[in-house]
Amino acid sequence: MFQEFKKFIMRGNVVDLAVGVIIGVAFGAIVASLVGDIIMPIVGAATGGLDFSNYYLSLSSSVQPGAPYVEAKKQGAVLGYGQFLTVAMNFLIVAAVLFLVIKGMNNLKRKEEAPSAPAEPLADVKLLTEIRDLLATKS
């Protein structure tokens, strides 16, 4: 059973998947930083210094008005639509970046697969072709 498990783990697909997941987690951290540290502050500055992450609707009377979102969650039920906006923007940015990366890769792949001009046949192939053609005309 151990040998079968070892064979399964060492298959190329499993290793490729593991590498993809690790790179995906790292890419996710980069995008989260891009959204949280660069894009959302710009959006907040453009909208007058608003911080979307602290936007919420209180669903409980025990939530103190004006409390930060993290504290409000501890006090009672809140609907954190600001966090949702941040996560949705994060998703849109990830989707746009992935689209651009895949589109770029597809363009490179198409350029590599572009048919090249037919190469000049080798001298012996050319000679054999002429012999074949001569034999065909005599028959």
Could you tell me if residue 120 is inside a domain? yes
Could you tell me if residue 94 is inside a domain? yes
pLDDT at 103 over 80: yes
Which of 114, 97, 85, 78 shows the shortest CA–CA distance to 28?
97
The count of structural domains within the chain is: 1
Q: Cα–Cα distance between 109 and 10 in angstroms, integer?
A: 28
Query: What is the pLDDT averaged over residues 7-33?
Result: 82
Domain harbouring 77, CATH code: 1.10.1200.120
Side chain identity at 85, as an amino acid letter? L
Element (H, E) at 57: strand 57-58
Could you tell me if residue 38 is inside a domain? yes
Domain that holds residue 49: 2-130
pLDDT in the model for residue 51: 66
How confident is the prediction for the chain on average, in pLDDT?
A: 82
Query: What is the pLDDT averaged over residues 19-34?
Result: 85
pLDDT at 117 over 70: no
The structure tokens listed for 117 are 């001009």
Could you tell me if residue 137 is inside a domain? no
pLDDT in the model for residue 39: 78
Could you tell me if residue 138 is inside a domain? no
Could you tell me if residue 126 is inside a domain? yes
Which of 24, 89, 80 shows the shortest CA–CA distance to 53?
80
Query: What is the pLDDT averaged over residues 103-109?
Result: 87
Could you tell me if residue 28 is inside a domain? yes
pLDDT in the model for residue 22: 92
Could you tell me if residue 50 is inside a domain? yes
**Any idea what the Cα angle at residue 45 is, between residues 39 and 47, rounded to 5°?**
105
pLDDT tens digit string along 48-92?
776 677 888 888 888 888 888 888 888 988 988 888 887 888 788
